[in-house]
Amino acid sequence: MGRIFEVRKSTMFARWDRMAKQFTRIGKDIAIAVKAGGGDPATNPALRRCMQNAKSVNMPKDRVEAAIKRAMGKDSENYDEILYEGYGPHGVAILVEAATNNNTRTVANLRSHFTKGGGALGTNGSVSFQFKKMGVFRLHPEGLNQDDLELELIDFGLDELGESTGENDEPILVLRCAFADFGKLQKALEDKGITPISAENEWIPSVTVPVTDLQAEEVSKLIDKLEQDDDVSKVFHNMG
């Protein structure tokens, strides 16, 4: 156990724009979760995860409840979850997760973002082989014995546990597990009374591409543009 490696974070867009984007993304996640497993969080682990993530970005409770109610309606929007692959400047691999109701629009927009940002939208499999999909839980470390927690969670799929920092440089614990073990580890944390700051499935790069600060700035501009697209949920990269 020690400091867990996380790839270089790109510079995010303005705080209020980011907050609005996070609310939109979680609203779509709620819609997808409710469509798949119903509107009761007690019996829908995916919805519980969405509600935890909503709390972590201070999404108002009434907006969460409204999103659940809207998703349960007959006229609710249907979204397809699609993974797009491409390369940014300097050979940096980029994965884009999108939730869209119009794939033609999304592809056209993403191709434009990549081209203008000095990259190229690729085909299925052109980039994803450089990443591994994993469950990632971020926790407040207060009151937790890391060694004990690691031993207790290994039987529930824990693959890595280490220290990192949040957006405001606050200390956090990062837990990773195989994608298939996400639900098992989520339930183990719930049974221990531990509420994660966030619980996500993320694409973790197997290898990273070293870049200079100037090159990182160029790549970050593309990532920021992709993250601001209304159809985009999350962007992953292997910029070291």
Whether residue 13 has pLDDT greater than 70: no
Cα dist from 74 to 38, 66, 115, whole Å: 13, 14, 39
Residue 179 lies in a domain: no
Helix (H) or strand (E) holding 219: helix 213-228
- Residue pair 169/27 in contact (Cβ under 8 Å)? The answer is no
pLDDT at 16: 47
Residue 230 lies in a domain: no
Residue 65 lies in a domain: yes
Looking at residues 66-76, what average pLDDT do you find? 91
Which residues partner with 139 through β-bridges? 173
Residue 162 lies in a domain: no
pLDDT at 34: 96
Residue 167 pLDDT level (bands cut at 50, 70, 90): confident
Q: 26: domain range?
A: 15-72
Query: Where residue 60 sits, what CATH number does that domain have?
Result: 1.10.10.200
Residue 231 lies in a domain: no
Counting every residue written for the chain, the total comes to 240
Number of domains in the chain: 1
What span, in angstroms and rounded, lies between the C-alpha atoms of 212 and 232?
27
User: What are the tokens at 53?
Assistant: 């993530």
Q: Is the pTM of this model over 0.75?
A: yes
Residue 108 lies in a domain: no
| Amino acid of residue 240 | G
Residue found by looking up tokens 């221990």 in the block: 192
Residue 107 lies in a domain: no
What span, in angstroms and rounded, lies between the C-alpha atoms of 108 and 112?
6
